[in-house]
Amino acid sequence: MTAIMATDFPLLSLLLFTPLAGALMCLVIGAANGTNARWVALITAGIVFVLSLVLCLLQTPAAGWLLYEDYSWIENFGIRYTLGLDGLSSVLILLTAFLQVLAVLVSWRQNHAPAIFFALLLILETAAIGVLLALDLILFYLFWELMLIPMFFLIGVWGYKRRFYAAVKFFLFTLIGSLCLLLAVISLYLLHGEQTGVYTFALEALKQTELSGTQELIFFLCFMAAFVVKVPLFPFHSWLPDAHAEGPAAGSVDLAGLLLKTGVYGMIRFAFPLFPVAAQKTMPILAVLALVGLFYAAWVAFQQIDIKRIVAYSSISHMGFVILGLAAWNQTAWEGSVLLMVNHAVTTAGLFAVVAMIEQRTGTRALDQLGGMWKSHPNMSAFFLLFCMASLGLPGLANFAGEILILIGVFTVKPLWAIIAVVGILFSAVYTLRLVQGTLWGSSCEPHDKQDLVPREWLVLIPLAVLVVLLGCYPQPVLELLREPVSSLLMSGGLP
Amino acid sequence: MIATLMFYLLGAVALGATVMAIIQRNPVYSVIYLVKSIFSLALIFYLLGAPMIAALQIIVYAGAIMVLFLFVIMMLEVTPTNAATRTAPGWFHWGPVLLLALTLVALTLMLIGLDPVSSEGVPRWHASPRDFGYTLFKEYALAVKIISFQLSFAAVGAFHVGMTERRRARQEDAS
Amino acid sequence: MDILLILILLLPLAGGVINACFGSRMPQPVPVFIACGAVIGSFLACLGSLTLAAGDGYRLVLFTWLKSGNFQADIGLLYDPLAAIMTLMVTGVASLIHLYAAGYMEDEPDQVRFFALLNLFVFAMLTIVLADNLLLLFLGWEGVGFCSYGLIGFWYRKTENADAGRKAFIVTRIGDLFFAVALLWLFALFGTISIEGINAQVSGLEVTTVTMISLLLLFGACGKSAQVPLMSWLADAMAGPTPVSALIHAATMVTAGVYLLCRMFPLVSLSSTAMAAIALVGIVTALYAATCALAQNEIKRVLAYSTMSQVGYMFLAVGLGSVSAAMFHLLTHAFFKALLFMTAGCLINLAGHENDIRRMGGMRQRSPLVFWLFLAGLLCLAGAPLTSGFFSKDLILATAFAHGDPFHLGLYGLGVMVAGLTSFYCFRLAYLVFAGDFRGDELPHEPSALMLWPLYPLAILGLTAGLLNLPHLFSGGSWLSGWLGRTQDVLHLSISIEYLLIGTAIAVFVLGWLLAALRYRKYSERQPSLVGEFLLNGWRVDDLFDLLLVRPFKKIGRFCSQGVEAGLIEGVLNGAARGCTDLGMRLRGLADGKVSAYLQGLVWGFVLIVGWFLLRALV
Amino acid sequence: MIVPMEHLLILATLLFALGLGCVLVRRNLIMILIGVEIMINSAGLVLVGASAFWQQVDGQIMVLILMAITAAEVAIGLALVVYLHQQKKSIDVGIFDEMRG
């Protein structure tokens, strides 16, 4: 694993801990008055964004890690502080940083303890970046758990009426999942120690442990327990709609943009390479669950009244699509999955931003009380229409690029799955159009705030809109970045 | 030979007295029966060669503690004249106690069975008060001092707890 | 030369984007100029680069859109004769319609959004026409669907318009599914999705796969061209403004399906069953639409159903194996149907925004010019001799007749019957609208000059387009078949049969006219008969779909959300939570402060443990 | 040899069991204290028996200390009983159950 960039300056650690430093700064400065806590948060998010952009541009498509940091941390357990950045991580980190800037902008008006709010947002960002960089299983688990806490408080304190219920549900769901993960990590560590005498948590080393069929299956299921809850695959999804509906706008943007991605990232980086044989055995089950989730979430979204819940269920449906792509286990499908993940994050972040704006102006999120937003807020409605069209997979916009790659990848492996998934796209059109119908067209409801888009909101929506169109029309740069890492992960995963 | 006979006789008396002490509804009667059982125990102590302890048993135990009991019973008039007290507990309550007794005896038998004490039993031995006093104040001098402390603490504690409501209330608002 | 080709595509896109983003900030007339200028520019660019298309056409690849693993889809243009003809027609008719719309939409506040969407629509349509690979075609395919959604639901204030838009979008998307599956299958088979690549390797396949793929393509085309299974959206799509109906539901979008089948003709023509299916779908739709048109009361719905039946004819032509006949009818139909829709717009304005033909009448006195233009269109539609409609329809019927076997003769018979029905409802429309005196009570709203000017070229084209593909009977050179490189479509029938066919066509036309004249010369208020009611609602297909698809979908939806989501998943979670709290409460009961209870517990514990050891020791 | 050690131990166990029974069954606080006294006596008996058996005086000294402790214990116990009696006007054990979960 040669590091292309032979700089000894710990660039990755800098990237990892800037948001944390920002969070502390927020607390210190914000204690005085909340307003400049916002500015600190914005500046930190900006710095992290620029940093990750630079790293992405430096990314040469050669295989291996662009940057690799490896320090010993707790010797006697063989836990090392190893960070690695390759194409896959750099794309997701860029996405995280970008959405973080937007999350700060979306919650600019936050006046309920803003300092702590922004500090928590930045800690969440550190945790997410940590998850995306860590190559040592314990370090990975540490950041995996760290993600839980800020999100719990974000939903629990700044949410809506049933926020506590939603926060606790979110916490318990992910905690149970990650405890299985911890169990598996430790037992794998011990097993590896017995076999080779070397007690280490490094991902590369642990790949070499020989496991019997059932052992590998059990380990794989434990690992997947944590990731499947986070992705929300079908049966484990009931925390997501509550977390979104009761969480603050920035919380939703982050939740959709960051947390769902770490689940899939965990699968690709850790679960599949570590236990390839077991993974391939469970692929059909995963695919079936994904398909069921795809339709189930669409049907439930069709019945929802609260527009935020509709968007939440739509993200469950799209993530089902991503998992289907992973289940196909070939290059096109995996690249399609990661691309769809990135596109979905951008589209859903846009949707949640606009939903928050709609709620600010009309004070309600119920579909039957909304209507005729185009008359009173043409610009906002135009953005909302764009994001909805992207969400239902209109070609030329974000989600379609990912979806078509997945369909092609899946069709070559299992035509039946692809055909069912294509029908799934129709279902997503049905409920998204119902959402658009209820909010934009029809007789106008009287929003108490006639103000269309404030410059700050323009600043949030324009980059998102441009990105949605760009990722739809020309996703090649992202795909170039993903090509090498995905093929190496597939290779180590053992092509069928 | 007579000693063994005396031992069994006294044992039986002690047991009978204790049983009677337990099942009495009136606490005064039970204290009296208890004193009877203590006397028989004192005699057993004497048989077993502990004249000093026998005497102390009677003086301290029967004399002081039982008298204290009687005093408290009289003060609180808990005698069963007031109808509120329930009838002596019936068979339902004593059943488990019998079971308990059996288990304990079985336990001791088992323990004894595990490593049997030398078969010849308790010898005929007599510890004169002199040796008793000698070892008490030679090897256990410290223990005696601690016990004295402990007794004084008990006295202070009893006094404090025993203060009546009125005096304590007066004392609080005074301080 | 490439610049012109790129300009064809780029101009409408640029016009649309500029209008969409900055339209509202520009002074009133500027967006309209941008929009019309963009489309006219694209038309001129198409004219300029026409020479490129000669022979087997010109290819141009701009950049790779999607590349992953062995899948490669790039933005490439294929400018061959078929595409050239289609682009010419699309840009030509679109620019005329834009001019017309400039007049029609004068006093519309939301003008900018209208012209932005119209330009984007033209861009999407041109993407379909010029795409060299199926994925890019699919992009145009869905783009057209979205623009029609936006334009049908343009007057969104009334929810039925928005619902009509949504219905159109969803029904066409059902069609798109089949097209997407066909696309995936083709890629899985050939490893490429470029149209020419597929058409070249197509001979290697065995017939069943070809049939399956062609049927999928057929259903995809049906969705977009409103053919039998997926046709219910076209009638409701009349909720949009008239220029929209003219552009989308006459000239361009509905013909996209035919164009797709013509593009993939080498693949489709391999399996005879698929060809028969296409022909059957075409003729059944033609019949269905013609009967429905008989009973419609609104002028635009009559024209909508007539479009559906004419596109049915085109499908029939493709099913018969003659691409040039289909394209010939497509071109002529585009001209006179656009003309009809636009004059209908003028008529509606003249009748004071009155749509219902039963309340119109005597429009001839109101504006003789519009009368003559509308009549020209009607004559072409009805297939009056020597008009373009006559020649193109006759060519299709002749091709059907030429096949000779009983199945195709049956098709020919049905085709003639539909032609009769067409001329009947054309003249019914003419008499109801123009004969007698005006039955409505609104004041006429004179159409502006800008609305009338584009009508003249269309009228002339409508009447004279027959020259494009004159059969040799009329000493014509069948230019279009030659241009498309499909000389085998030119029919070589004996003179007597030719005259026989033309005779029947003229006879049927005259018969339709007489019947309509008898029935509708003097307007008499008639109670709508049961059959009339049935035909008015399009054979009650909507209720059928509602029963078969919409209601079960809602039921399953409700079952999923109430039953599984609220019941099962939430139920399990809340149940578990409640179970824990109850257990906690019960355990709390144990520590109830009774000293004796504690002691009992202690002793029983002791007894149990000791008893266990005793038992073990004894046993 | 006065008596085999086992018999002595059995006697002590029986006494202990009776004391424990009294503590468990009786609902009167004072009777509970009496039960405790019985249990302590049985312990004293064993101690004396052992000192006789091993012929060492230490056992008897233990009994003396035991007696001292018992005295202290009874003093405090009865003081508490008096105090509780003042509080609740009764010394039935069931009444004092404020310490519940």
pLDDT in tens, C382-418: 888 888 888 888 889 988 888 888 898 999 999 999 9
H-helix or E-strand containing C71? strand C71-79
**Side chain identity at residue B163, one-letter code:** M
DSSP assignments along C8-32, one per residue: HHHHHHHHHHHHHHHGGGS-THHHH
- Confirm or reject contact between C610 and chain B (CB < 8 A): yes
Residue B94 C-alpha, separation from nearest chain D C-alpha, in angstroms: 7
D96 touches chain C (CB under 8 A): yes
CB contact under 8 A, B103 and C617: no
Please list the residues that pair with A74 across neighbouring strands. A79
Please tell me which of the candidates B100, B104, B110 has its beta carbon nearest to residue C617: B110
More confident: B83 or C374 = C374
d(CA A313, CA A301): 5
Residue range A118-129: mean pLDDT, rounded:
92
* CB contact set of A258 (below 8 Å; sequence gap of 6+): A96, A99, A124, A125, A128, A147, A345
Residue A70, H or E segment: strand A67-74
Gap between the Cα atoms of B150 and D68, Å rounded:
9
d(CA A386, CA A392): 10
Using the predicted structure, report yes or no on whether residue A492 has a pLDDT greater than 80: no
Q: Do chains B and A touch (3 or more CB pairs under 8 A)?
A: no
- CA–CA dist C390, C378 (Å, integer): 11
Q: How many CB atoms lie within 10 A of CB B168?
A: 10
Of C593, C594, C599, the CB nearest to D23: C599
pLDDT, mean over chain A:
88
pLDDT tens digits, one per residue of A396-414: 898 999 999 999 999 998 8
Q: In chain C, helix, strand, coil percent, each to 5?
A: 80, 5, 15
Confidence label for A235 from pLDDT (cuts 50, 70 and 90): confident
Per the document, the length of chain D is: 101
How many Å apart are CA C50 and CA A294, to the nearest integer?
A: 47
Express each pLDDT in C22-34 by its tens digit.
888 888 888 899 9
C-chain residue closest to D93, CA distance:
C595
> Are B100 and C617 inside 8 Å of each other by CB?
no
Residue D80 has pLDDT above 70, yes or no: yes
Question: Are residues D8 and B123, on separate chains, in Cβ contact within 8 Å?
Answer: no
Pairs of CB atoms within 8 A across B/D: 242
Chain B residues close to D67, C-beta within 8 Å: 56-57, 60-61
Which two tokens mark A134? 């860590």
Contact with chain A for residue C550, Cβ under 8 A: no
Residue B92, pLDDT score: 65
- pLDDT of res. B85: 47
Residue B13 pLDDT class (50, 70, 90 cuts): very high
Exposure of C387 in the CB half-sphere (CA atoms within 13 A): 26
Nearest chain B Cα distance for residue C610, angstroms? 7
Q: Identity (one letter) of the amino acid at A363?
A: G
Distance from CA of A337 to the nearest CA of C (A): 12
Query: Rounded distance, CA B43 to CA C284, Å?
Result: 124
- Cα-Cα-Cα-Cα torsion B132, B133, B136, B138, nearest 10 degrees, comes to -120
3-class SS of residue C196: helix
| D6 in contact with C, Cβ within 8 Å | no
Contacts of B99 in chain C (CB under 8 A): 607
Of the candidates C193, C94, C88, C91, the one whose C-alpha atom is nearest the C-alpha of residue C139 is C193
**Planar angle of CA C15, C17, C22, nearest 5 degrees:** 95
Chain D residues with beta carbon closer than 8 angstroms to that of C594: 93-94, 97, 100
Q: What is the mean pLDDT of residues A278-307?
A: 90
Collect all residues of chain C within an 8 Å Cβ-Cβ radius of residue D98: 593
Window D:64-83, CB contacts with B under 8 Å: 64-65, 67-76, 78-83
Using the structure block, give the residue that is written with the tokens 């709620």. Answer: A359
Question: Which residues in chain A touch residue C558, judged by CB atoms under 8 angstroms apart?
Answer: 303
pLDDT over threshold 70, residue C495? yes
**Contact state of C177 with A422 under an 8 Å Cβ cutoff:** yes
Model pLDDT for residues A430-450, shown as the tens digit of each residue: 999 999 988 888 776 777 777
Query: Which tens digit of pLDDT belongs to each residue from C241-264?
Result: 889 988 887 778 888 999 999 989
Q: What is the mean pLDDT of residues A179-195?
A: 91
Nearest to C1 by CA among C97, C79, C104, C64: C79
Maximum average pLDDT range among B159-168, C18-27, C90-99: C90-99
Chain B residues with CB-CB distance to C613 below 8 A: 110
Query: Chains meeting B at 3+ CB pairs closer than 8 A?
Result: C, D
Which residue of C603, C604, C610 is in closest CB contact with B107?
C610
Averaged pLDDT for residues C146-165: 89
Say if the Cβ atoms of D37 and B53 lie within 8 Å.
Answer: no
Mutate to test the interface with D, among B67, B69, B122 (most CBs of D within 10 A): B122
Return phi, psi of residue C59, to 5°: -110, 145
Considering only residues 31 to 90 of chain D, which have any Cβ-Cβ distance to chain C shorter than 8 Å?
Answer: none
The enclosing domain of D73 has a CATH number of 1.10.287.3510
Asked whether the beta carbons of residue D60 and residue B18 sit closer than 8 angstroms, the reply is no
Nearest residue in C to D98, CA atom? C593
Output the CA angle D28-D31-D33, nearest 5 degrees.
115
Express as a percent the part of chain A with pLDDT over 90: 40
Q: Do the Cβ atoms of C594 and D94 come within 8 Å?
A: yes
Element spanning A81, H or E: strand A79-85
- Confidence check: pLDDT of A495 > 60: no
Contacts of B110 in chain C (CB under 8 A): 613-614, 617
Tokens of A414: 């299992």
pLDDT score, position A3? 47
For residue D44, give the amino acid letter.
Answer: G
- Is residue A25 within 8 A of residue A44, CB to CB? The reply is yes
Determine the longest span between alpha carbons in chain C, in angstroms: 123
CA distance C138 to C289: 27
**Cβ atoms A360, A367 nearer than 8 A:** no
**Each residue of B17-52: pLDDT tens digit?**
999 888 888 888 889 999 999 999 999 998 888 888
The Cα–Cα gap between D101 and C587 comes to 9
The pLDDT of residue B83 is above 50: no
Residue D2 lies in a domain: no
Domain of D57?
A: 7-92
D and A adjacent (3 or more CB pairs under 8 angstroms): no
- The whole-number average pLDDT for the span D10-17 is 91
> What average pLDDT score do residues A213-224 get?
91
Three-state SS sequence of A220-274: HHHHHHHHHHHCCCHHHCCHHHHHHHHCCHHHHHHHHHHHHHHHHHHHHHHHHHH
CA separation for the pair A49, A101 (Å, rounded): 8
Chain B interface includes C607 (CB < 8 A) = yes
As a three-state string, the secondary structure of A284-328 is HHHHHHHHHHHHHHHHHHHHCCEHHHHHHHHHHHHHHHHHHHHHH
Residue B84's pLDDT is what? 43
Calculate mean pLDDT across residues C457-485.
Answer: 80
Q: Identify which of C588, C594, C596 has the shortest CB distance to residue D24.
A: C596
Mean pLDDT value across residues C38-55? 87
Quickly list H helices, chain B. Answer: 2-23, 27-47, 51-56, 67-76, 91-114, 129-138, 141-162, 165-174
C250: CB partners within 8 A, 6+ apart: C303, C307, C333, C334, C337, C338, C340, C341
> pTM for the whole thing?
0.83
Instruction: Give the tens place of pLDDT for each residue, A310-361.
Output: 999 999 999 999 999 999 888 899 999 999 999 999 999 999 999 989 888 8
How high is the pLDDT of residue A1?
Answer: 42
C-alpha separations of A208 from A125, A273, A393, D41 in Å: 32, 10, 41, 71
Min Cα distance C608 → chain D (Å) is 16
Count CA atoms within 13 Å of residue A292 on its CB side.
14
Q: Find all residues with CB under 8 Å of B167, minimum gap 6, and list them.
A: none
Residue among C592, C596, C603 minimizing CB distance to D100: C592
Look at B161 and C210; give whichever has higher pLDDT.
C210
| Residue D99 forms part of a structural domain | no
User: Does residue D97 sit within a domain?
Assistant: no
Q: How far is B148 from chain C (nearest CA, A)?
A: 32
* Residue C375: closest CA among C427, C338, C413, C424: C427
d(CA A346, CA A344): 5
**What CA–CA distance (Å, rounded) separates C308 from C245?**
13
3-class state of residue A202 by DSSP: strand
Contact assessment for residue C63 and residue C101, using Cβ atoms and an 8 Å cutoff: no
Residue B90: band (very low, low, confident or very high) from pLDDT cuts 50, 70, 90 = low
What's the pLDDT score for residue A2? Answer: 46
What was the pLDDT predicted at A7? 61
pLDDT tier at A143, thresholds 50, 70, 90? very high
Chain C CA closest to residue B96: C604
CA distance C483 to C486: 8
C contacts of B106 (beta carbons < 8 Å): 610, 614
pLDDT at A61: 65
- When scoring B48, B82, B115, B139 by the number of chain D Cβ atoms within 10 A, the one with the most, hence best to mutate, is B48
User: Mean pLDDT, to the nearest integer, of A108-131?
Assistant: 89
- Which ranges of A33-65 would DSSP assign to H, the alpha helix? 35-58
Would you give the DSSP letter of residue C437? Answer: -
Q: Is the predicted pLDDT of residue A465 greater than 90, yes or no?
A: yes
